[in-house]
């Protein structure tokens, strides 16, 4: 069985299939890293939007309080 696997590996390596698999694995890892960075960016933007919205609400509340005095 080992001899068969070794022979199959040698044949696939000779035709470039092994390199193709390695390249695909590397590409998948890069894609996963890009997806993680995109999620981090999305979360950072979401937090900035929430902060901006809360600041606007606070300003409106302060303006309403000042106008009622």
Asked, for residue 13, whether it belongs to a domain, the answer is no
Asked, for residue 14, whether it belongs to a domain, the answer is no
Asked, for residue 57, whether it belongs to a domain, the answer is yes
CB 22 within 8 Å of CB 16: no
Residues 6+ apart with CB under 8 A from 12: 18
Asked, for residue 6, whether it belongs to a domain, the answer is no
Asked, for residue 17, whether it belongs to a domain, the answer is no
Query: Tokens for 39?
Result: 């999620």
pTM, to two decimals: 0.55
Q: Which domain holds residue 44?
A: 37-69
CB 18 within 8 Å of CB 24: no
Asked, for residue 3, whether it belongs to a domain, the answer is no
At 34 the pLDDT is 92
Asked, for residue 22, whether it belongs to a domain, the answer is no
pLDDT tens digits, the chain, 69 residues: what are they? Answer: 677 777 667 666 655 655 666 666 678 788 889 999 999 999 999 999 999 999 999 999 999 999 987
The domain tally of the chain equals 1
């Amino acid at each position: 069985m080992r001899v068969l696997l070794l022979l199959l590996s040698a044949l696939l390596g000779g035709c470039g299939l092994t390199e193709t698999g390695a390249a695909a694995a590397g590409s998948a890892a890069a894609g996963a890293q890009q997806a993680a960075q995109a999620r981090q960016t999305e979360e950072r933007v979401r937090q900035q939007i929430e902060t901006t919205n809360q600041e606007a609400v606070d300003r409106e509340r302060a303006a309403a309080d000042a106008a009622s005095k």
